[in-house]
Structure 1
Amino acid sequence: MGRRENKKKKEYNRVKIIATLFSFIMMVLIIRLFYIQVIIGKTYESSATNQRTKEIPIGIKRGTIYDTNMIPLTNRVRSQHMIIYPEIFLPSKDNLTKIEEITGVNIKNKLTLKRILDLKVKDYNTDIINSLEREKGLFIVAYEERYEANQIGAHLIGYINMADNKGQYGLERKYNDILTQGQDKKIEVVVDAQKRRILGIEKSKKLNNNDGKDIITTIDKKIQTIVEEKLDNKYKNGSVVVLDTKTGNVLALASRPNFNPLDIASYLGKKDKEFYNRAIQVSYPPGSIFKIVVAAAALETGVDMDKAFLCDGYEEIDDIVIKCHSYKTGGHGEINMEEAFSKSCNSYFIKLGQEIGGENILNMARKLGFGRKTEIGLEEESEGLLPNINYIKGSGIGNISIGQGPLESTLIQIAKMTNIVANDGIDRGVYVLKGIVGENNSKIIEKPPSNAVIDKSIAEKLKKMMKKVVVDGTAKNIYDKDISFGGKTGSAQSTANGQYVVHAWFTGFYPYDNPRYVISICIENGGSGGQVAAPLFKDILDEIEKTH
């Protein structure tokens, strides 16, 4: 009996041990399974995914530049690119020939560099594409291009160095640090064990933004397009600026001649200065446009608009003769400020300048933005040129009073001055950046407070005189009885490449009551402002009215 009980007890202990061991093993397996599936499951999943997928870049790692309505100005075009991984790709005479045929590039020597090759497909041959897509380490994908051949707003946007993705000019340069924050644009394609793309399986789009930044400009693409088309249709060299009167926002800014940002190298060494943004970077004598400044200075010093001077067609100061355009007809005769302004009488404004003094003229010019940058937000902006006080003490007062001599202004400065007048003497500033947009945050750029630089009564008198210019003055050829606006013409003498030239100016605002737009124009070597720049103003204005 005792032996039997001992035997049963031993068997029970053995079963108990086995059960405990089995339970332990099961527990270990469960823990291991939990660890594999839950704790490090994502790692295995990622590893498996990496073995059957390949990440391919699909565009320049750079934020998009938008217009004021969030219409993209860059990254608008998609084309086919061939991405080749040299460490995987197996070259042969046949596939190298096919690659060169559709891309125009012989990659044989490039494969030794051991870096990803990015080639644009220039000749999309379906048969060749289909055969190459089965090659190991070669992928053909839709690619996001930074620019277009006919890039809108090229001078404003600028361009980048494709090799290092660094902004070289325009907005690309000014906001390079913002545009390059964290951008990483890729897609995933499914591959087999040999890293060959499996066709017929849809690729999944992937965008790792890492809080990358896009910028929103103040540009209105519709107005920008109108301005560029009108400028291209008529003139080779010149620039146009359109401002939103109430905000100072730049709605359009165009410069000609234009350039293709996809082919920067072809412009190097040329003499046409295609890369110059003539609206902000090149300064010119403002000519009779500057009579706005002289008139404002005179009104501020208390000169009455009815004050008259005699115009004989010329003025002589220190043996220097300065002619009025009425010279051949014997002058304008007795003429007051409003008439002299509308007819752009040089004699009147020379005498007016002598009466009020050069210092008052220069002080007013500074108030209205001459001689300093507008701070539009572009590195290339010029500050123009104002003469020193010594120049205007002698015969120089005659030149300055009609916008000549050592006096230069950019078109954006003229637009800003016109906007001050249109806004009853309030300086709204000039802006081209509206906001910054990121994946996790966005912000609208705050503007500094506006400030009054001339009295409202003076601005109202200037507007009245500018209206008369287009009703029966030097721009009466663009008068329209159905719409009311004001402006000022200018024909500025200058030299370019050692030759005498006359630049055509016009700057104006619309409508006369409660202005919405300021449009300023300068056509290099265009001649008469009234005959050349003023009609362009009217053409642009009419087209804007049709679309807005």
Structure 2
Amino acid sequence: MGIHKIKRILSLAVIFLITMFMLTIKIGYIQLHKNRTFTLEAMEQRIRTLVQTDNRGDILDRNGIPFANRTKEKKVAVFPNCVYDTAGTARMLSKIVEGTDKDKLETRLNNKKGFEIYTLKDNGKLTSEIPWNKRNFEGLIFFEQPKRYEKDGIANHVIGYTRASDNKGVAGLEYTFNEFLTGKREDILSVMMDAGNRVIPSGVSTKEGSPSHRGSNIVLTLDYNAQSIVEQHAEKLGQRGAIIVVDVKTGDIIAMASRPNFDQTNINKASEVSGCLLNNCILPYQLGSVFKIVTTAAALENGIISPKNNFYCHGSTSVQGWKYQCYTEDVGGCGHITFEEAFARSCNTTFVQVAQRTGGDKILDMAKKFGLGQKVNIFLPWEREGSLPSVMEVQGPGIGNLTLGQGSVQVTPLQVADMITTIANNGIRKKLRLVDSIRDNKDNIIAENLKSDMGRVISISTALTLKRLLAKATLEGTGANAYIKEVGGTAGKTGTAKFSEDINYIWFAGYYPVDRPKYVIVVFNAGQGSSSQNAVPIFRDIVLDMEKIVIE
């Protein structure tokens, strides 16, 4: 063998030894320093997450009672390859899980791959009634999953809902405060699978969501018990309606409900029902005779009338060819009538006369002072500002539509609640609040929505006169059915605006008790009949039920 050939062999041998040495070092490094990393990565490839929790923050009432995350839904995870008694387990499961039967379950259990998750009937109440044996439990993992909403939840239009695909808030306060409510996703049930996609029995892991991963909580001014009362009476509303209760002293919204209602657990079905996802508390409608409060305030503030001024009602009146009727037209009108009597009886012809004397510009100015035509801004998305006619529109015959709350006078129930609260506070406007604060999971305040006065809207004299007129309207006028002596009397104004042949916009807006008002209640109902039939009784029933609870 030549010397050159030997050198080449030795060179190759050296290169081989160096390569092997480097590989040995690399393998040693991996075994010593990367072993845990690669082991975890290999395990992660075989771990399947079955259930996650979003750790979304709560939406709470004024006393910390949750409107969301009130319950946990009980479920069962089934791992077919771990089931010993297929027929027996299928038979038992068919009695306690929703959405399937024994035959389908047995077919699924005979396919040993993968897993299934089922919701338990009656939230697991039937589970204890089944005569289980040890083998029936094999391959089953019972667990609880936080349930954001309930089928019979309350304050649905206020709370809103989240999108199922990513749990992002898309309506109501869920939408407004999504950034604060969103928590960190966390696994609460996971399993390890083998190469054949079969569950490894020892590889099942369950755990609770971590408090540190939860989103922030939103604390509302709503009272859960008062909200429950309002929801109950809201069922009496017609095709569309709304009810709002406000604490007079603070401006806090105690209850707020809209109809038609919807099921937060089934938004797809809710989308098929016209208007049920809309919050009628913040949508504008013709106000009808409740607007006579605005005309009265403007006339009083400008010294145009006093309660004892005399008028005469013939049953109708004309303004440049436009006829405005009083409900007493068929009997020849109200005849001689004082202004305070006209307010109590809601005499249209008297109010057209008062509006003409006062002037449309002054009435519109008063409406704006009360906040009509402007958003109240209580953090609910898609609140509408409503509308008021222009000064030009109320020149001539348009003055009649204005004072009677018809035509382009479009007002939200929330704005009406704001106006009545101002009157009940002797002319001082309060900032209405729905949201009190944002707090972390240790109850530390992140942001606070402070109470505040927004200044005087009308003089004390005008406010006191309006309060006397509103009390008279329930004592002996169109709102007489709302009067309740036992609670210290009630005060309020009825209103009915015709929308179509079949639909009237029906209102009652008032407060109680008369001397020291505690709560403003506004009832709006789109249906048939009049306010005395379909709004006043609801107001009365709410007052009686509110007196049975204590609001702190």
TM-score range, shorter chain: 0.7 to 0.9
Specify the alignment match of 2:494 in structure 1.
Answer: 489
Shift of 1:212: 2.2
C-alpha spacing 1:359/1:134, structure 2 compared with 1 (3 Å):
same
Specify the alignment match of 1:6 in structure 2.
Answer: none
Specify the alignment match of 2:15 in structure 1.
Answer: none
For 2:165, which of 163, 184, 188 is the aligned residue? Answer: 163
C-alpha spacing 1:131/1:289, structure 2 compared with 1 (3 Å):
farther
1:279 partner SS = helix
TM-score by length of structure 2 reads 0.79
Shift of 1:206: 4.5
1:514 partner SS = coil
For residues 223 and 359 of structure 2, the distance between their equivalents in structure 1, rounded to whole angstroms, comes to: 42
Deviations 1:393-444 (A, max 9, x none): 1211011111111111111111111001001111112211111121353246
Specify the alignment match of 1:64 in structure 2.
Answer: 58
Q: How does 1:257-272 map to 2 (within 5 A)?
A: 257-271=260-274
Shift of 1:316: 0.6
Asked if 1:472 corresponds to 2:476, the answer is yes
1:239 partner SS = strand
For residues 421 and 275 of structure 1, the distance between their equivalents in structure 2, rounded to whole angstroms, comes to: 32
- Check conservation: 1:287, 1:492, Cα contact below 8 A: yes
Specify the alignment match of 1:460 in structure 2.
Answer: 464
2:405 partner SS = coil
Specify the alignment match of 1:337 in structure 2.
Answer: 339
Deviations 1:465-523 (A, max 9, x none): 0000011111112323332221111111113xxx4522221011111122110000011
C-alpha spacing 1:341/1:81, structure 2 compared with 1 (3 Å):
same
Deviations 1:186-236 (A, max 9, x none): 55799999975679x997644143362011111111111111112225655
- Check conservation: 2:48, 2:193, Cα contact below 8 A: no
- Check conservation: 1:185, 1:208, Cα contact below 8 A: no
- Check conservation: 2:250, 2:451, Cα contact below 8 A: no
- Check conservation: 2:159, 2:174, Cα contact below 8 A: yes
Specify the alignment match of 2:304 in structure 1.
Answer: 303
For residues 98 and 455 of structure 1, the distance between their equivalents in structure 2, rounded to whole angstroms, comes to: 76
For residues 378 and 115 of structure 1, the distance between their equivalents in structure 2, rounded to whole angstroms, comes to: 44
For 2:356, which of 345, 354, 357 is the aligned residue? Answer: 354
Specify the alignment match of 1:9 in structure 2.
Answer: none
Specify the alignment match of 1:15 in structure 2.
Answer: none
For 1:229, which of 207, 232, 246 is the aligned residue? Answer: 232
Shift of 1:89: 9.3
Specify the alignment match of 1:120 in structure 2.
Answer: 119
- Check conservation: 1:240, 1:254, Cα contact below 8 A: yes
- Check conservation: 1:248, 1:430, Cα contact below 8 A: yes
C-alpha spacing 1:92/1:129, structure 2 compared with 1 (3 Å):
closer
- Check conservation: 2:313, 2:334, Cα contact below 8 A: yes
Q: How does 1:37-186 map to 2 (within 5 A)?
A: 57=51, 59-82=53-76, 102-104=97-99, 119-122=118-121, 126=127, 134-135=138-139, 139-180=141-182, 182-184=183-185
Specify the alignment match of 2:289 in structure 1.
Answer: 288
C-alpha spacing 1:196/1:222, structure 2 compared with 1 (3 Å):
farther
Shift of 1:140: 3.1
Specify the alignment match of 2:24 in structure 1.
Answer: none
For 1:241, which of 239, 244, 248 is the aligned residue? Answer: 244
Shift of 1:54: 10
C-alpha spacing 1:188/1:525, structure 2 compared with 1 (3 Å):
closer
- Check conservation: 1:258, 1:274, Cα contact below 8 A: yes
Shift of 1:541: 0.3
Shift of 1:376: 1.5
For residues 220 and 327 of structure 2, the distance between their equivalents in structure 1, rounded to whole angstroms, comes to: 42
Q: CA RMSD in A?
A: 3.9
Moved more, 91-100 or 60-69: 91-100
For residues 425 and 530 of structure 2, the distance between their equivalents in structure 1, rounded to whole angstroms, comes to: 27
Question: How many equivalent residue pairs?
Answer: 494
C-alpha spacing 1:247/1:437, structure 2 compared with 1 (3 Å):
same
Shift of 1:64: 1.1
TM-score by length of structure 1 reads 0.80
Specify the alignment match of 2:3 in structure 1.
Answer: none
C-alpha spacing 1:204/1:523, structure 2 compared with 1 (3 Å):
same
Deviations 1:307-350 (A, max 9, x none): 22221110111211110111112111222221111110101110
Unmatched 5+ stretches in structure 2: 1-31
Specify the alignment match of 2:223 in structure 1.
Answer: 220
For residues 352 and 531 of structure 2, the distance between their equivalents in structure 1, rounded to whole angstroms, comes to: 20
C-alpha spacing 1:458/1:504, structure 2 compared with 1 (3 Å):
same
Letter in 2 for 1:343: R
For residues 185 and 258 of structure 1, the distance between their equivalents in structure 2, rounded to whole angstroms, comes to: 32
C-alpha spacing 1:475/1:208, structure 2 compared with 1 (3 Å):
closer
For 2:257, which of 254, 278, 283 is the aligned residue? Answer: 254
Specify the alignment match of 2:4 in structure 1.
Answer: none
- Check conservation: 2:436, 2:450, Cα contact below 8 A: no
C-alpha spacing 1:307/1:233, structure 2 compared with 1 (3 Å):
closer
Letter in 2 for 1:480: I
- Check conservation: 1:139, 1:197, Cα contact below 8 A: no
For residues 382 and 87 of structure 2, the distance between their equivalents in structure 1, rounded to whole angstroms, comes to: 49
1:546 partner SS = coil
For residues 263 and 419 of structure 2, the distance between their equivalents in structure 1, rounded to whole angstroms, comes to: 32
Letter in 2 for 1:302: G
Asked if 1:316 corresponds to 2:311, the answer is no
1:378 partner SS = coil
Specify the alignment match of 2:546 in structure 1.
Answer: 544
1:365 partner SS = helix
Shift of 1:278: 1.2
C-alpha spacing 1:131/1:351, structure 2 compared with 1 (3 Å):
farther
C-alpha spacing 1:338/1:437, structure 2 compared with 1 (3 Å):
same
Specify the alignment match of 1:378 in structure 2.
Answer: 380
Letter in 2 for 1:261: Q
For residues 170 and 131 of structure 1, the distance between their equivalents in structure 2, rounded to whole angstroms, comes to: 48
1:518 partner SS = strand
For residues 370 and 116 of structure 1, the distance between their equivalents in structure 2, rounded to whole angstroms, comes to: 58
Letter in 1 for 2:477: G
For residues 154 and 543 of structure 1, the distance between their equivalents in structure 2, rounded to whole angstroms, comes to: 21
Shift of 1:95: 11
Asked if 1:209 corresponds to 2:212, the answer is yes
2:389 partner SS = coil
- Check conservation: 2:83, 2:138, Cα contact below 8 A: no
For residues 148 and 408 of structure 1, the distance between their equivalents in structure 2, rounded to whole angstroms, comes to: 34
C-alpha spacing 1:85/1:164, structure 2 compared with 1 (3 Å):
farther
Moved more, 305-314 or 318-327: 305-314
C-alpha spacing 1:399/1:140, structure 2 compared with 1 (3 Å):
same
